[in-house]
Amino acid sequence: ILNVEQSPQSLHVQEGDSTNFTCSFPSSNFYALHWYRWETAKSPEALFVMTLNGDEKKKGRISATLNTKEGYSYLYIKGSQPEDSATYLCAVNDYKLSFGAGTTVTVRA
Amino acid sequence: NAGVTQTPKFQVLKTGQSMTLQCAQDMNHNSMYWYRQDPGMGLRLIYYSASEGTTDKGEVPNGYNVSRLNKREFSLRLESAAPSQTSVYFCATKPSAGTGFGDEQFFGPGTRLTVL
């Protein structure tokens, strides 16, 4: 089981502002990094799976980057909207995932 | 397609009681997982099944047993429930068997369990 850390634990963003947060993981034995979006009372849903150093993924206003050599990934939300309010989980795996505790984003209208 | 389903959605047990959480998927996925989610701790892997017929322990297996009944179903059993097992339990699936680390996981709706 890998030690995956996410920071900050929570953040509040004004509607329209952009934000980003971090996932850190051991750089050795890396296979893939996953980002999941988890809304209250729902199930986690996959946003991105990244495997290569330098990977960048984008889905709408949300994007992510990966640095496997230094062991971190950033998730960016551009022009935050209230519907972006959720907990964002990152996880690192071989064939079993080790999850971080998540960053809870609250977007204020 | 229902995706990943879990039963029950909610359950209250008394200490020492037993119960089985059921998970079923109709996506023809090979790997299945059981996680528990506790406040401030993220998701922790209890057991997983990398393919039909195999099961392995995860990070927190004590107090649990699993059965991969067939390709579709993966159950989690609490033989003698303890208050420390109060949690939300999620089942998840992945298309590939074993490794296949580029696959995303698909989660069920969760079972909220309270042990008094």
What span, in angstroms and rounded, lies between the C-alpha atoms of A35 and A37? Answer: 7
Cβ neighbours for B74, distance < 8 A, ≥ 6 positions apart: B23, B32, B33, B34, B49, B66, B67, B68, B91
Q: Which 3 state secondary structure label does DSSP give A83?
A: helix
pLDDT of residue A81: 97
Q: How many CB atoms lie within 10 A of CB B23?
A: 25
pLDDT of residue A94: 65
- Name every residue whose Cβ is closer than 8 Å to that of residue B39 and which is 6 or more positions away in sequence: none
Q: B62 in helix, strand or coil?
A: coil
Residue-wise pLDDT tens digits, A11-59: 999 999 999 999 999 888 788 999 999 998 899 999 999 998 999 999 9
Give the pLDDT band of residue B96 (cuts 50, 70, 90): confident
Strand A86-93 relative to strand B111-115: parallel, antiparallel, unpaired?
A: unpaired
Higher local confidence (pLDDT), B42 or B112 = B112
Confidence band, pLDDT 50/70/90 cuts, at residue B99:
low
pLDDT tens column, A56-102: 999 999 999 999 999 999 999 999 999 999 999 999 986 678 899 99
* pLDDT for A18: 97
CA distance B103 to B96: 7
Give the residue with greater pLDDT, A96 vs B107: B107
- pLDDT recorded at residue B93: 94
Asked whether the beta carbons of B47 and B61 are under 8 A apart, the reply is yes
Q: Residue B100 pLDDT more than 70?
A: no
CB A68 within 8 A of CB A60: no
Coil/strand/helix, residue B71: coil
| pLDDT recorded at residue A2 | 81
Output the pLDDT for position A40.
87
User: Which of chain B's residues have a Cβ under 8 Å away from the Cβ of A1?
Assistant: 45, 58-59
Residue to mutate among B6, B74, B89, B101, with most A CBs inside 10 A, is B101
| B101 with A51: Cβ contact below 8 A | yes
B35 to chain A, minimum CA–CA distance in Å? 10
Instruction: Judge: B103–A96 Cβ closer than 8 Å, yes or no.
Output: no
Q: Give the tens place of pLDDT for each residue, B19-56.
A: 999 999 999 999 999 999 998 888 999 999 988 889 99
Mean pLDDT of B60-85: 96
What pLDDT does A1 receive?
74
Ramachandran category for residue B53: left, alpha or beta (phi over 0 → left; psi -120 to 50 → alpha): left
Nearest by CB to A32, from B33, B102, B108: name it.
B102
Q: How far apart are CA B72 and CA A22, in angstroms?
A: 36
User: Is residue B68 pLDDT above 80, yes or no?
Assistant: yes
